[in-house]
Structure 1
Amino acid sequence: MASSLPFPAPVTDAAPSPEALRAAADRLVSALAAHSDPEYRLSVLKRVVRRLGEDRYPLFIRLLGVVAESDDVRAQRLLADTFGTALRRMDLPGGALSSWGATRLPDATGPVAVSALSGHFFGATPRRLLGPVEYLTVWHLQRTQRTALGAETFRTALARLIALLNRSEDARTLYPQKLAADAQNEMEGAYTRATRERLRALADAWRAGRSPEEVAQAALEVADAPLPGQWVVRDL
């Protein structure tokens, strides 16, 4: 696999420009289109996620949104079909979010040194790779190592993502099935009860054939407690 896949250096910046994002999305689609083997395309997509790095998985979701907002139906189908392959293999290109309740103090009998509070301290376990839909949902609903994601940004990003995935029959069918299964499984604390309820509502609306906007809204309409006070929220 070529070492140049598929991003120019500016896209690894903390805040890439719209032009850099469009260029990266175009290169991603071109890299997928260069091969007819679905398994190879999936390996390309997973390598993109690895090269961006764990902290930049939201950037990968933004790239998916760029393709979703384009008028290139062929590119959308190509990308969605690659996710369909990933779902059939149960091997989604994922990003990691920590569970807030998983944090623990370093073992010590006296004062804790600042140097002990490394990145591994804040929610290092349990960590689990989440697909883009699950990632957005957990990011919005749970305390993680990231600043919380605002409701409107969550709704918009989720609707775009679902519209993209709906371009593939496999992705449209298999992804809500996966979410419904996740909603029934506590999975070592990766999801809170509220998150599982949202995933279940999302899966039900998606399987019922509702529009992407309605599916995203369904994920927000489940009655539960509001976010804890003093939370800081941000855009994607």
Structure 2
Amino acid sequence: MSSQVPTPEALRQAATRLLAALAAHPDPEYRLAVLKRVARRLGEDGYPTFLRVLNVIAESDDAAAQRLVADTFGVALRRMDLPGGALSSWGAARLPEGGSPLAASAFSGRFFGAAPRRSLGPVEYLTVWHLQRTQRQELGAPVFRRAMSQLISLFNRSDEARSLYPQKLAADAQNELEGGYTRATRERLGALAAAWSSGQSPEQVADAVLASGAPLDPRAWVVHDL
């Protein structure tokens, strides 16, 4: 993603276009293809923009639009084919040594070019972004909580997504996927899945990630907004 953050108006327009494209096709498989195409066209660096668009839809008063998006994610979960974004594996990205301020070039493709990356769905992406060192600067806890609770609220509009997504996260929490998740992250994904499947509120589900496991050392991170 470019350094320029999309304006609220640009995000609303993008959300409107996405909803129009989804509503124009009754075939759920085609809708999933549309959703994946949008995420893919934004590119790896632009996946946070995709999450912002989902958050705009989650914040709206249009329950029908929310169900349309959530149902499409339900299809994706049934197929195990979520529109994803890539983050570097937890052991791959190292910050430069020394106490001097970090230059923008320190986070260039040259620095992280060799870091293996894996594709993550929206909930997993936010969780890893908040908890682990990746090619991105860390996502702060307040922003994580707001964005995560909005996503959970959105996905809860679909019975299928509300049922299948926690199941997927619980399975992820039981498997060490090629270094993609640290042990602490898997524990927190498990806590998130348990809270979500038990019917807790979206805010409580997000809090389950923040409350479980050992506290993070803030000195090790550069905090970044979504």
TM-score by length of 1: 0.86
Secondary structure (helix, strand or coil) at the match of 1:16 reads coil
Q: Cα distance, 1:222 vs. partner?
A: 0.5
Q: Cα distance, 1:126 vs. partner?
A: 2.9
Give the alignment partner of residue 195 of structure 1, picking from 169, 178, 185: 185
1:65 corresponds to 2:39:
no
Q: Cα distance, 1:159 vs. partner?
A: 0.1
> In the alignment, what sits opposite 1:127?
117
Q: Cα distance, 1:63 vs. partner?
A: 0.3
CA distance in 2, matches of 1:98, 1:39: 29
Secondary structure (helix, strand or coil) at the match of 2:112 reads coil
CA distance in 2, matches of 1:28, 1:13: 23
Q: 1:149 touches 1:234 (CA, 8 Å); kept in 2?
A: yes
Q: Cα distance, 1:103 vs. partner?
A: 5.0
Q: Cα distance, 1:123 vs. partner?
A: 6.4
Q: 1:123 touches 1:144 (CA, 8 Å); kept in 2?
A: no
Q: 1:189 to 1:147 in 2, by over 3 A?
A: same
Q: 2:90 touches 2:181 (CA, 8 Å); kept in 1?
A: no
Structure 2 gaps of 5+ residues are 95-106
CA distance in 2, matches of 1:172, 1:100: 28
> In the alignment, what sits opposite 2:142?
152
Q: Larger Cα Rg: Structure 1 or Structure 2?
A: 1
After superposition, the C-alpha distances for 1:133-162 in whole angstroms (9 at most, x for unaligned) are: 000000000000001000010011000000
Q: Cα distance, 1:120 vs. partner?
A: 5.7
CA distance in 2, matches of 1:233, 1:211: 26
Q: Cα distance, 1:124 vs. partner?
A: 3.7
Correspondences of 1:35-184 after superposition (within 5 Å):
35-103=25-93, 119=109, 121-122=111-112, 124-184=114-174
Secondary structure (helix, strand or coil) at the match of 1:223 reads coil
Structure 1 gaps of 5+ residues are 1-10, 105-116
Q: 1:183 touches 1:199 (CA, 8 Å); kept in 2?
A: yes
Q: 1:124 to 1:171 in 2, by over 3 A?
A: farther
TM-score by length of 2: 0.90
Q: Cα distance, 1:15 vs. partner?
A: 1.3
The one-letter amino acid paired with 1:221 is A
Give the alignment partner of residue 204 of structure 2, picking from 201, 205, 214: 214
CA distance in 2, matches of 1:205, 1:181: 14
Q: 1:209 to 1:193 in 2, by over 3 A?
A: same
CA distance in 1, matches of 2:44, 2:213: 31
The one-letter amino acid paired with 1:22 is R
The one-letter amino acid paired with 1:37 is D
CA distance in 2, matches of 1:214, 1:123: 37
Secondary structure (helix, strand or coil) at the match of 2:16 reads helix
Greater mean deviation of Cα atoms: 38-47 or 215-224: 215-224
Give structure 1 regions of 4+ aligned residues with deviation exceeding 4 angstroms. Answer: none
CA distance in 1, matches of 2:31, 2:58: 18
Greater mean deviation of Cα atoms: 33-42 or 12-21: 12-21
> In the alignment, what sits opposite 2:217?
227
CA distance in 2, matches of 1:67, 1:48: 15
Q: Cα distance, 1:228 vs. partner?
A: 5.2
CA distance in 1, matches of 2:58, 2:171: 26
